[in-house]
Amino acid sequence: MPRRLLLGASLASAAGLAACTSGGRDTPDEAPSTATATPSPTATPTPTEEPFVPPGLQESQRDEYRFGDHPRQVSDLWLPAGERREAIVVLVHGGGWDAGTDRRDLNALVADLVQRGWPVLNVDYRGNGDGGGWPGTFTDLATAVDMAAEAAAEHGLPLERTAVVGHSAGGHLAVWAAARHTLAAGEPGAGPRVVPVATAAMAGVLHPTALGEDGGDPNVQLLFGGPPSAVDERYAVGDPTRRVPLGMPLLVLHGTADDTVPPSQAQEFAQAAQAAGDRVDLRLLEGVSHGDPKEPEGATFPQVREWLESVLG
């Protein structure tokens, strides 16, 4: 394996976003009780262990693109063993932007797509309490997605046919990545090398401003370094609802039984994007939970596969 160093619902509960962890397991909520608290310097991420292979795939199918010294500053390109589609699908994991969840969280989806012929770039980034937050999580994610340009050049993939898909906090980052071309020079993530042609969010945190005020989700506050009343200029940059229009097809799926991220996040984003002129396919999935999108044959992800077929063929 080559390696490169290329230097309307109620607010989520305090533990809500942090509960979205690898494989659906519960982990302790490490977020402080207030936005001004300092993350513990002893917080450690889940290590990236070898082998790092989704079920049904082989290590030889992975090409690793590193962009820093931290274990999470990496993107993995997974290539089909046989015929491949002329496209790139970028996957962005969730986990409440926490240091304890890495890109393995979506390994089942990676395997599902690659075995169906899709080249997949599974991206990672530093989380809260481990070098992430503002602006580290954002700049890491931007660079991780931009590794698709390196992958396309080296493997003959069509960069102009790139779609980004994310779950939960990764849904937030996926849609934000699609909005980077709207950022002013000097803002974190500005000047993208990769502008996707379509973007999908599954149970995404798409309007963090609405969750970030006092009494809201402390993980959002930790990501941005405070509530909107204190650092609104950061939310203006990093809130997808405040970056519309994006100018590309958007798929937004959210379960009505999601008790981690309120479905109102999807509704508020879709309303704003449609009002700005974007084409948004909003699907509220009756009785579907927050973790369902991580299951290849759940209620959510088959709809993403169908959508990828429709926008990329």
Q: Which domains occur in the chain, in start order?
A: 3-8+60-312 (3.40.50.1820)
Q: What is the mean pLDDT of residues 206-229?
A: 94
Q: What is the mean pLDDT of residues 226-234?
A: 97
Nearest to 203 by CA among 271, 242, 273, 253: 253
Where b means 16+ CB within 10 Å and e means fewer, 77-89 reads: bbbbeeebbebbb
At residue 313, the pLDDT reads 79
- Identify the H or E element spanning 166: strand 162-167
Separation CA 170–CA 91 (nearest Å): 8
Separation CA 49–CA 46 (nearest Å): 9
Q: What is the mean pLDDT of residues 23-36?
A: 32
Can you tell me whether residue 179 is helix, strand or coil?
Answer: coil
pLDDT tens-digit readout, 237-261: 999 999 999 999 999 999 999 999 9
Asked if 97 and 137 count as a contact pair (C-beta separation under 8 A), the reply is: yes
How, if at all, do strands 74-78 and 250-255 pair?
A: unpaired
Separation CA 288–CA 300 (nearest Å): 8
pLDDT tens-digit readout, 77-97: 999 999 999 999 999 999 999
Q: If you count them, how many residues does the chain have?
A: 313
Average pLDDT for the chain: 87
- β-bridge partners, 11: none
Q: What is the mean pLDDT of residues 139-154?
A: 98
Asked if 75 and 124 count as a contact pair (C-beta separation under 8 A), the reply is: yes
For residue 114, give both structure tokens.
Answer: 């690659």
Model confidence at 101: pLDDT above 60: yes
pTM for this prediction: 0.86
Q: Residue 59 burial (CB < 10 Å; 0-12/13-18/19+)?
A: exposed
How confident is residue 215, by pLDDT bands cut at 50, 70 and 90? confident
For tokens 């609104």, name the residue.
232
- β-bridge partners, 297: none
Model confidence at 16: pLDDT above 80: no
